[in-house]
Amino acid sequence: RKLDLDEGLLEQYIASLKRLKRKFGLKGEVDLSFLTAVPELFQVREVEAKEEESALVLRAVESALQSVELSREREGRHLRLDIESHVRQLRRVAARVEKEAQKLRESSVEIAQRQTSEADAVAPVADWVLKGDIHEEAVRLKSHVEALRRLSSEPGPVGKKLDFLLQEVQRELNTISSKAPQLSVVRLVLEGKDGVEKIREQAQNVE
């Protein structure tokens, strides 16, 4: 845009004011404040940008858009790397839970075999161990974590899928902790839940 002053009209105004001063003996001088009181003295008009200026503007806009896109890509890569790191943590937890499940199952078999000779004393313990069998939950946990691993490396929007799988992992961890309150298992569950929460925080920023 360009602001134009109508100098011809201004000269007419000034000449008219001077005549009025002489004719009626008025005092005062015409100053810049007079210009602001007469808006028709100015006219704003649109000016077409030169071809070179237009090209510069377009290049600047394109450069800014590219910078934004690169920034988003870098942020996306960082988020995915962070998620993959926590998924590896969950894989370690799932593997250790699977080992604990095997130990519990072996213990239940051993105690069940001893029941034949020590039924009264061992039966309550055996029932407790049998109820604490977490083999199926450990298998499902491992399966969900493997699905998380595959999903975390997939291109495109994965936020909602991640959230769904995290809910499944959380559900299995809760079931495991309720069925097997042994300290070794509880520690693994807490570590797993910590990993789930960290992934969930990052998943909120993944499209």
Same domain, residue pair 16 and 101: no
pLDDT at 30: 67
Domain that holds residue 138: 77-203
In the predicted structure, residue 116 carries a pLDDT above the cut 60: no
Confidence of residue 104 (pLDDT cuts 50, 70, 90): confident
pLDDT at 69 > cutoff 80: no
Q: In whole angstroms, give the CA distance from residue 14 to residue 81.
A: 74
Q: How many domains does the chain have?
A: 2
Q: Does 92 share its domain with 39?
A: no
113 and 185 both lie in a single domain: yes
Instruction: Assess if residue 27 is contained within a domain.
Output: yes
- pLDDT reported for residue 20: 81
Task: Write down the pLDDT at residue 187.
Answer: 94
Poorest-confidence range of 19-23, 120-124, 137-141? Answer: 120-124
Q: 22 in a domain, yes or no?
A: yes
Residue 207 vs residues 57, 63, 79, 166, 171: alpha-carbon distances, Å: 31, 24, 11, 16, 24
Predicted structure pTM score: 0.58
pLDDT at 193: 95
Q: How confident is the model at residue 202 (pLDDT cuts 50, 70, 90)?
A: confident
Chain mean pLDDT for the chain = 80
Say if residue 134 is in the same domain as residue 195.
yes
